[in-house]
Amino acid sequence: MRYLVTGGAGFIGSNIVDELVRRGHDVTVLDDLSSGKEENLASVRRKIKFRIGSIIDLAHAQEALKGVDYVIHLAARTSVPKSVQDPVETNLVNIDGTLNMLVAARDAKVKRFVYAASSSAYGETPVLPKVETMQVAPISPYGITKYVGELYAQVFGRVYGLGNASVRYFNVFGPRQDPSSQYSGVLSRFMLAAIRKEPLTIYGDGGQTRDFTYVANIVDETLRACEAEAGSGQVFNGGTGARITLNEVVKLLEKIIGRKIPVAYEPPRAGDIRDSQADISLAQKVLGYKPSVLFEEGLKLTWEWYKSAYDRH
């Protein structure tokens, strides 16, 4: 089968590409390298087609989609605070870019379009865990854009017959998550600070919770969402079903690293949700998904990876 992975040079994308190549599929990556890196694809580079370009460019999207069976659409601006700072940019990439990809996928008659949605769509709904049937209530520009992408994918299913599925990712972490920006995912920031022996920064009191999901689980679920007979037109949570506070994460990290880690507490960030936890029963039932790497094991694997990638001393 031929797959197009947008954002395939990024953290989650490159992990998906590795697995597709391992399974013997033809893979094209479309990535503008705004946050992705070519080196993430180093081990598969000779086996894939790599197109540098933006999803905002419809002609480029159409060209990339020729002969493709499945699209996995990950390319996006992924940061909540960045969307608060520049909502127009996030809207352009995440909504207009997704619409372009859907138009191009419809015209190329792909079998299924799998969209990387986000748990941020749930926003501050008070009930935990989050179930797909709940009313959404995003509280950041980012959350809105990610939710609109799901709606567009479903509407393209209804009005043009485009096979589609969305997976609402819950705080994915693991090897290759780029820690270099203040907007990077929290665990990648923690890893880098711990390697440099600097204090970790926690925004707020550290009591906020997340369903941190090791990337191998998300790779598995996303590929299931492509291939499952059932599931077209549906939205699935992509998490583990658990949640943990940032303060507890620090304790676990101290256990793994074997020393105390200092923490600097700063004011909470605008647009931040307080709690997040997935109910994964729908994905279990329809896709046969079951997370195989739980949090503590994932944290160890991730620490090992950051040590080899970033600890040069």
Catalytic residue numbers, as ranges: 142
Residue 203 is given by DSSP the state E
Task: Report the C-alpha gap between 43 and 190 in whole angstroms.
Answer: 26
Q: Does 79 bind ligand UD1 (CB under 6 A)?
A: yes
Q: Does 97 bind ligand UD1 (CB under 6 A)?
A: no
Q: Does 185 bind ligand UD1 (CB under 6 A)?
A: yes
CB 225 within 8 A of CB 73: no
Q: Does 277 bind ligand UD1 (CB under 6 A)?
A: no
Distances in whole angstroms, Cα of residue 291 to Cα of each of 78, 241, 284:
23, 9, 9
| 141 versus 185: smaller Cβ distance to ligand UD1 | 185
The span of 19-27, 77-85, 106-114, 285-293 binding ligand UD1 (CB under 6 A) equals 77-85
Write 24-27 long-range contacts (CB < 8 A, 24+): 25/1, 26/1, 26/2, 27/2, 27/3
| Tokens (6 digits) for 289 | 């998904």
The span of 12-20, 33-41, 126-134, 199-207 binding ligand UD1 (CB under 6 A) equals 199-207
| 60 versus 189: smaller Cβ distance to ligand UD1 | 189
CB 154 within 8 A of CB 234: no
| Nearest distance, CB of residue 46 and ligand UD1, angstroms | 29
Q: Does 208 bind ligand UD1 (CB under 6 A)?
A: yes
Q: Does 203 bind ligand UD1 (CB under 6 A)?
A: yes
Task: Report the C-alpha gap between 113 and 231 in whole angstroms.
Answer: 12
| Nearest distance, CB of residue 203 and ligand UD1, angstroms | 4
Q: Does 125 bind ligand UD1 (CB under 6 A)?
A: no
Residue 201 phi/psi, 5° resolution?
A: -100, 130
Size of the site for ligand UD1 (CB under 6 A): 23
Q: Does 269 bind ligand UD1 (CB under 6 A)?
A: yes
Instruction: Give, for 250, the enclosing helix (H) or strand (E).
Output: helix 246-257
| Nearest distance, CB of residue 194 and ligand UD1, angstroms | 12
| Nearest distance, CB of residue 245 and ligand UD1, angstroms | 10
Distance, first Cα to last Cα, the chain: 43
| Half-sphere exposure in the Cβ direction for 295 (13 Å, CA) | 21
The span of 45-53, 64-72, 182-190, 224-232 binding ligand UD1 (CB under 6 A) equals 182-190
Task: Report the C-alpha gap between 180 and 192 in whole angstroms.
Answer: 8
Task: Report the C-alpha gap between 117 and 169 in whole angstroms.
Answer: 6
Q: Does 202 bind ligand UD1 (CB under 6 A)?
A: yes
Q: Does 120 bind ligand UD1 (CB under 6 A)?
A: yes
| Nearest distance, CB of residue 89 and ligand UD1, angstroms | 15
Nearest Cα neighbor of 51 from 30, 36, 67 is 30
Q: Does 119 bind ligand UD1 (CB under 6 A)?
A: yes
Residue 43 is given by DSSP the state T
Among 189, 236, 240, 244, binds ligand UD1 (CB under 6 A): 189
Q: Does 73 bind ligand UD1 (CB under 6 A)?
A: no
Nearest Cα neighbor of 79 from 168, 143, 167, 34 is 143
| Tokens (6 digits) for 122 | 């749930």
Among 90, 98, 171, 240, binds ligand UD1 (CB under 6 A): 171
The span of 12-20, 100-108, 118-126, 296-304 binding ligand UD1 (CB under 6 A) equals 118-126
Question: Given the rule CB under 6 A, which residues bind ligand UD1?
Answer: 78-80, 118-120, 169-171, 183-186, 189, 201-203, 208, 210, 246, 269, 272, 276
